[in-house]
Amino acid sequence: MSETTLAMAVVLLPLLAAVATTVLRPLRLVHLAHVPAVVGFGAAAVLAFWLLLQVQDAKVPSFINAPIPWFSLGNLRVTVSIHVDPLSATMLATVTFVAAWIAIFSAGYMHGDSGYDRYFAVMGLFVFSMCLLVLANNFLLLVAGWEGVGLCSYLLVGYYYAKPSAAAAARKAFLVTRLGDVGFLLGIFLLWQAGHYEMNLNQLFTNLVLHPPSDGTLTTACLLLFCGAVGKSAQFPLYVWLPDAMEGPTPVSALIHAATMVTAGVYLLARCAPIYAMSSAATATVALIGGITACLAAFLAVGQTDLKRVLAYSTVSQLGFMFMALGCMRAITPGIAVAAAIFHLFTHAFFKALLFLGSGSVMHAMGGVDIRKFGGLRRLMPVTHLTFLAGAAALAGIPPLAGFWSKDQILDALNEACDSDSPNGAIYAIVLGLALIAAAMTAFYTFRAYFLTFWGEERIPPEAGHHAHESPWVMLAPLCVLAVGAVFAGIAVEPFGNGFSHFLSRSPSVELANVVYAKQTNLIPIEHPHLNLTVAGVGMGLAFLGFGLAAVLYRKGGPEVVPPMLVPVFEASKNKLYVDEIYNATVVKPAEVLATASRQVDGAVGSLARLVAFLPKAVGTFLRPLQNGLVQFYALGMVLGLAVFLTLVVARFTR
């Protein structure tokens, strides 16, 4: 089987699973709805790993299928064309692997729900769209996947449709990401125009590199593309939808809002590395936005009392880390920056999915995720506790867990960027500072949540009922598998030998980015990152600092005790710095007022038309009495008119 056929199979298997799920209801087999998904995702994961191995062995790791036309007219040619390279193969494997385990977890978590089949059908559609997004070699095909995952996110966030908050969250998620997509589309078309009317990604990059457009165009296009990423990957200022999206079932949060969909923005930028490598202003902006997001979201996570929201803000923050790495693309070798970002994406997928599933397990037992209501669960739920601890430690960046290595690489990249002779060195210095603060806060809020949930006296809320026990094995197995990933995924692939970076750097787009970098800066691209012990030490120190602080404050569990002088800070964090309220007052409400005003204005415009109609009406009032319905009156009118006419004619011709 050729590589692209294999990739096609990976894409289509989840779709097939989704379609198969839809026929279960007529067959009265709803309780088996998880089977197609688990089988489909599992098979896709196996194939994806096989594909990964093949790509690794290939001499030239780039495979493009014979494009299937979708639509084309004039210069716009859109084809279903997929591209397998180390970057997309890695993403594909990550996505399908995590999806398969989450599907297994969902089989336990969603058991007995009335929309069981609906859930798995949309999940299938989601994995399909995500794979399409990852493999697309045509910008508009990528958009198709991009919008597809957005739709599935919408449907799954609004899964509990009768709940008004879920409905609101679903709409918010959809709209905020769509807002980013406005820029995304414009950016795509700007690049299309600048790149000789080409939609095929690889070809487009080549065109742009060979005939670079003006700096302004390029920077604008990059920033517009980044708008899409900001929306999808929940970056400042469009991050507000992600915490609300926690209204969906927890496995959904794990898959879509932690491991896969939200990383689409990161993947997009990594895929478009060649063009970002050309624009220093755009990359610096990316880094700055990433830094602000990472720091802000970490701060907001500190005060949250809802376990899932802590994790949601943590996701936003970690995505910020990835964008920081991507933002170094022009300052340091792009291959290194991309590798750092994708490496973090890879490890993050494991430990964040694990944390979400762990919180799902807690939620399953406790009937809610408000950490004020329960505590001391480590004896009640030992497996959940241990796996959660693994995830938390990985997230906090405790060596030698996965998160440590990937975060270290990002800090390393930022450090390099500060030292580079990039004109934006000062910005990178600020970003590095933000990253360090965020790293410390990450460890703190992670362990705050961990201690409050699992340590101290055992407290079980009344709504837990008879569920207050360890989850069934169908849910624990995925936890264990992901925990293994969270612990070993980092150390296994990168630090010794830089296998991951090497592998990724062989992607054609990354290589092209390296070439661009070399051409523009006259520097030789660096082969692989080298461990900077100072940075690693500082990172480790900050992680332990956060952990220590959390341990001191919350080790005893119980109700949260906040140091009195920090109460306002915690309050601000808990209330999300009132960002939602500010947005509501400055964007949503004015828009609604504008809408109402437009409606009123429309009435006025309508009456303008009536004004035009008034003129004939006014004339009509004078002429109307002539229509009195008497035949003889009309006849008289005709006779008189004829008389006048004849008089004129006679006068004219006898003069």
Site for another protein in 616-635 (CB under 8 A): 624-625, 627-632, 635
The answer to whether 406 and 490 are in contact (CB under 8 A) is yes
Per CB under 8 A, 66 contacts another protein: no
Tell me the closest approach of the beta carbon of residue 249 to another protein, in angstroms.
Answer: 16
Among 459, 469, 447, which residue's Cα sits nearest to residue 362?
A: 469
Tell me the closest approach of the beta carbon of residue 600 to another protein, in angstroms.
Answer: 9
Q: Which amino acid is at 609?
A: A
Nearer to another protein, 533 or 623 (CB): 623
Tell me which residues in 446-475 interact with another protein (CB under 8 A): none
Strands (E), 201-241: none
Nearer to another protein, 18 or 439 (CB): 18
Site string for another protein, 281-320 (x = CB under 8 A): ----------------------------------------
Measured distance CA(262)–CA(150) in Å, rounded:
10
The answer to whether 176 and 231 are in contact (CB under 8 A) is yes
Binding region for another protein (CB under 8 A) out of 68-76, 317-325, 447-455, 475-483: 68-76
Tell me the closest approach of the beta carbon of residue 467 to another protein, in angstroms.
Answer: 25
Binding region for another protein (CB under 8 A) out of 173-181, 291-299, 342-350, 562-570: 173-181
Per CB under 8 A, 212 contacts another protein: no
Binding region for another protein (CB under 8 A) out of 56-64, 148-156, 280-288, 562-570: 148-156
Output the CA angle 170-173-177, nearest 5 degrees: 150
Measured distance CA(562)–CA(570) in Å, rounded:
8
For another protein, the binding residue among 2, 5, 56, 72 (CB under 8 A) is: 72
Nearer to another protein, 159 or 455 (CB): 159
Measured distance CA(572)–CA(25) in Å, rounded:
47
Q: How many other C-beta atoms can be found within 10 angstroms of the C-beta atom of residue 597?
A: 11
Among 133, 137, 157, which residue's Cα sits nearest to residue 146?
A: 133
Tell me the closest approach of the beta carbon of residue 378 to another protein, in angstroms.
Answer: 38
Extract the tokens encoding 206. 């080549």
Q: Which amino acid is at 253?
A: S
Separation in Å, CA 599 to CA 452, 582, 589, 594, 612:
51, 25, 15, 9, 21
Tell me the closest approach of the beta carbon of residue 293 to another protein, in angstroms.
Answer: 22
Chain-centroid distance, C-alpha 261 = 5
For another protein, the binding residue among 190, 268, 324, 331 (CB under 8 A) is: 190
Nearer to another protein, 60 or 608 (CB): 608
Measured distance CA(506)–CA(335) in Å, rounded:
9
Nearer to another protein, 566 or 636 (CB): 636
The answer to whether 344 and 326 are in contact (CB under 8 A) is no
Strands 63-64 and 68-73: unpaired
For another protein, the binding residue among 523, 531, 552, 636 (CB under 8 A) is: 636
Nearer to another protein, 56 or 596 (CB): 596
Chain-centroid distance, C-alpha 207 = 28
Helix (H, G, I), strand (E, B) or coil at 609: helix
Nearer to another protein, 58 or 186 (CB): 186
For another protein, the binding residue among 32, 64, 178, 459 (CB under 8 A) is: 178
Tell me which residues in 586-605 interact with another protein (CB under 8 A): 591-592, 594-599, 602, 605
Among 328, 157, 302, 123, which residue's Cα sits nearest to residue 244?
A: 157
Per CB under 8 A, 552 contacts another protein: no
Binding region for another protein (CB under 8 A) out of 169-177, 408-416, 421-429, 479-487: 169-177
Tell me the closest approach of the beta carbon of residue 234 to another protein, in angstroms.
Answer: 17
Per CB under 8 A, 608 contacts another protein: yes
Contact residues for 298 (Cβ-Cβ < 8 A; gap 6+): 313, 314, 317, 437, 438, 441, 442, 445
Per CB under 8 A, 175 contacts another protein: yes
Per CB under 8 A, 651 contacts another protein: no
